[in-house]
């Protein structure tokens, strides 16, 4: 461990001597012949313009679609890309952690995504990515949805497919740190529901005075494999709602989620006669979030409480109270000393999630430093301390897109 911190400092210092030339650009930049910096600041963090581009069904919000990028098929009702839009995100790390095996771990590739997106019609777009390699495994499709923009000529947008339930809060895929937002991943051991990926429909509506409303109807059981061609394993659906209000540099929001999931054929202890039954669990999340900041300094904070009515355990007893309560929070401070064009990015991230009925707790503090070598290539050095287990871990690596 004593040699790790000097090595991290040396690597970060070395990046200051490297040239600032770009080597390649992702699919959207290729299509419009623009720099990645049009939509991104410190990759993959989005600028406001990038948020508007994504919210406009992946079409420029202030310019018409360039005809040269589509096939001239003689059909005004057809928007067919001349060259299929495709890009790759490739991340890799070397990590140190105090453990019995593999203290120094070459985690390359850590993740390889094959991404595609763009318009299907003037008011309909799509986005999807295939995780070709996620921590050494083929993960398959994660984000995969069709986006209907300005439905009925209003500010109503509809997304249908699979996406992260937490996307209206803080987008995990756009964070600058390797350390995750654990509050969105927390769930009891047997439950399939959390606030990461799920299948459903999401509706968004924005008002001119800064109020944004987002509602979702979801399967409520993640994005596992279909069983007998059925994706939802029970009759229950999950519903989520989020409202946020922006006032100058401050955005305040509140989130609520409610759904049901079924545990089929659970075995229970019953004197003299084992009992098998289905168990219905009600899942509820609620909590506030806040963002304060500008192009240089941004503070994000989230608190969520999760309540489960009935989570079967390894030892099930008829009539036992198996209700569970979890709570979690994240606090993230992002500093870009050069603003949207900054070459350097600094992140401080605090995670805490806790199960009230068990001894489980995830409790970490992270410092992360990033340096752009090119618009689409960022070096990262990161140190995380596990406050619960009193153990450190650190990583150096890269995030790239081309």
Q: What are the chain's domains?
A: 4-401 (2.40.160.10)
Task: State whether residue 246 is helix, strand or coil.
Answer: strand
DSSP-derived secondary structure for 97-157 = E-SSS-SEEEEEEEEEEEEEEEEEETTEEEEEEEEEEETTB--EEEEEEEEEEEETTTTEE
In this prediction, residue 273 carries a pLDDT of 64
Q: What confidence tens digit (pLDDT) does each residue in 223-264 have?
A: 988 888 889 888 889 999 999 999 999 999 999 999 999 887
Which ranges of 16-69 does DSSP label H, i.e. alpha helix?
27-32, 48-55
* Residues of the chain scoring pLDDT < 50: 1-25
In this prediction, residue 272 carries a pLDDT of 61
In this prediction, residue 133 carries a pLDDT of 83
In this prediction, residue 19 carries a pLDDT of 38
In this prediction, residue 21 carries a pLDDT of 36
Round to whole Å and give the CA distance between 351 and 281: 27
Half-sphere exposure of 4 (CA within 13 A, CB side): 19
Cβ(363)–Cβ(50) below 8 Å: no
Helix (H) / strand (E) containing 264 = strand 250-268
The DSSP bridge pattern shows strands 275-293 and 197-206 to be: unpaired
Q: What are phi and psi of 215, to 5 degrees?
A: -130, 145
pTM above 0.95, yes or no: no
Round to whole Å and give the CA distance between 306 and 37: 38
Round to whole Å and give the CA distance between 267 and 272: 14
Q: How far is CA 35 from CA 24, 50, 103, 247, in A?
A: 10, 12, 39, 30
Q: How far is CA 176 from CA 3, 20, 44, in A?
A: 25, 19, 7
Round to whole Å and give the CA distance between 269 and 278: 14
Across 172-202, b (16+ Cβ under 10 Å) vs e yields beebbbbbbbbbbbbbbebbbbbbbbbbbeb
In this prediction, residue 1 carries a pLDDT of 47
Handedness of CA 329, 51, 367, 89 (dihedral sign): positive
Q: How far is CA 334 from CA 51, 162, 169, 368, 396, in A?
A: 18, 28, 16, 10, 18
What DSSP character marks residue 63?
Answer: S
In this prediction, residue 16 carries a pLDDT of 38
In this prediction, residue 315 carries a pLDDT of 56
Structure tokens at 183: 């509050």
Helix (H) / strand (E) containing 14 = helix 4-15
In this prediction, residue 7 carries a pLDDT of 47
Round to whole Å and give the CA distance between 94 and 98: 14
Cβ(399)–Cβ(43) below 8 Å: yes
Helix (H) / strand (E) containing 12 = helix 4-15
Question: Which residue in 35, 39, 37 sits closest to 60, CA to CA?
Answer: 39
In this prediction, residue 32 carries a pLDDT of 84
In this prediction, residue 42 carries a pLDDT of 84
Cβ(225)–Cβ(139) below 8 Å: no
């Amino acid at each position: 461990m004593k040699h790790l911190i000097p090595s991290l400092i040396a690597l970060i210092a070395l990046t200051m001597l490297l040239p600032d030339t770009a080597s390649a650009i992702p699919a959207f930049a290729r299509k419009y012949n623009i720099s990645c910096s049009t939509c991104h600041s410190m990759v993959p963090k989005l600028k406001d313009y990038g948020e508007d581009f994504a919210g406009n069904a992946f079409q420029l919000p202030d310019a018409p679609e360039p005809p040269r990028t589509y096939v001239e098929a003689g059909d005004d009702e057809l928007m067919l890309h001349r060259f299929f839009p495709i890009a790759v995100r490739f991340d890799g790390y070397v990590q140190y952690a105090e453990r019995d095996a593999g203290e120094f771990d070459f985690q390359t590739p850590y993740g390889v995504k094959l991404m595609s997106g763009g318009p299907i019609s003037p008011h309909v777009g799509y986005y999807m990515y295939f995780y070709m390699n996620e921590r050494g495994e083929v993960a398959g499709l994660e984000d995969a949805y069709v986006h209907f923009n300005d439905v009925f000529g209003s500010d109503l947008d509809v997304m249908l497919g699979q996406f992260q339930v937490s996307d209206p809060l803080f987008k995990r895929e756009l964070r600058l740190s390797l350390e995750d937002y654990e509050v969105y991943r927390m769930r009891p051991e047997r439950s399939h529901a959390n606030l990461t990926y799920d299948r459903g429909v999401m509706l968004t509506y924005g008002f001119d005075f800064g109020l944004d409303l987002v509602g979702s109807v979801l399967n409520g059981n993640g994005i596992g494999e279909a069983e007998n061609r059925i994706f939802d394993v029970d009759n229950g659906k999950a519903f989520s709602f989020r409202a946020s209000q922006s006032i100058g540099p401050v955005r305040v929001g509140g989130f609520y989620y409610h759904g049901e999931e079924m545990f089929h054929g659970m075995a229970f202890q019953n004197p003299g006669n084992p009992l098998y039954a289905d168990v219905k669990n009600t899942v509820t999340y609620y909590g506030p979030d806040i963002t304060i900041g500008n192009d240089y300094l941004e503070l994000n904070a989230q608190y969520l409480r999760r309540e489960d009515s009935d989570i079967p355990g390894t030892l099930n007893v008829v009539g036992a109270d198996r209700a569970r309560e979890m709570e979690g929070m994240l606090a993230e401070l992002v500093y870009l000393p050069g603003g949207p064009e900054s070459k350097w990015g600094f992140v401080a991230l605090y995670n805490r999630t806790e199960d009230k009925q068990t001894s489980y707790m995830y409790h970490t503090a992270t410092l992360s430093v990033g340096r752009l070598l090119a618009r689409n290539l960022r070096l990262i050095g990161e140190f995380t301390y596990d406050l619960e287990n009193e153990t450190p871990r650190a990583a150096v690596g890269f995030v790239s897109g081309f």
